[in-house]
Homo-oligomer: A and B are copies of this chain.
Amino acid sequence: MTATIDPNAGVMTLVNVFTVDVDRQQQLVELLDEATEKAMKRQPGFISANIHKSVDGTRVINYAQSRSKTDFEAMQKNPQAAEHMKAAAGLAKFDPIVCEVASSHSL
């Protein structure tokens, strides 16, 4: 299923911006892909994770959706998920921002 962005869906969004060395960007994308498949996806409330690469090579952004803030918090405390995030922390600094969709505009 393709992820959608909808202010009326009532989902929580986690935007996690990773700052990374250019020569490690692809490695970080693969690590987050694996973390999502092996750990995050199995946690309660998981809806989607969408991994983005900045064109300049210095960032990776995970746009992740979950049913609730509580589910995000539980996910971060889950031992399997925490192990993957520890590996990510070895490659990059990150800044996770828990959000709600305020509005959407499209053609």
Chain A interface (Cβ < 8 Å from any Cβ of B): 1-6, 12-13, 15, 17, 29, 33, 36-37, 40-41, 46-56, 59-61, 63, 69, 97-107
User: Residue A103 contacts which of B13, B40, B50, B69 (CB distance < 8 angstroms)?
Assistant: B50
> How many copies of this chain does the complex contain?
2
Please classify the interface of chain A as helix (H, G, I), strand (E, B), loop, or mixed, using the class held by over half of its residues.
strand
Give the residue name and chain of the B residue nearest to A48 (CB).
B106
What B residues does A69 contact at CB under 8 A? 55
What B residues does A97 contact at CB under 8 A? 17, 54, 59, 61
Question: Contacts A2-B5, A3-B4, A3-B5 given: A59-B99 contact, CB under 8 Å?
Answer: yes
Q: B50–A5 contact, CB under 8 A? A: yes
Q: B1–A2 contact, CB under 8 A? A: no
Minimal beta-carbon separation of A61 from chain B (angstroms): 5
Q: B1–A102 contact, CB under 8 A? A: no
User: Residue A105 contacts which of B17, B48, B106 (CB distance < 8 angstroms)?
Assistant: B48
What B residues does A105 contact at CB under 8 A? 33, 36-37, 40-41, 48-51
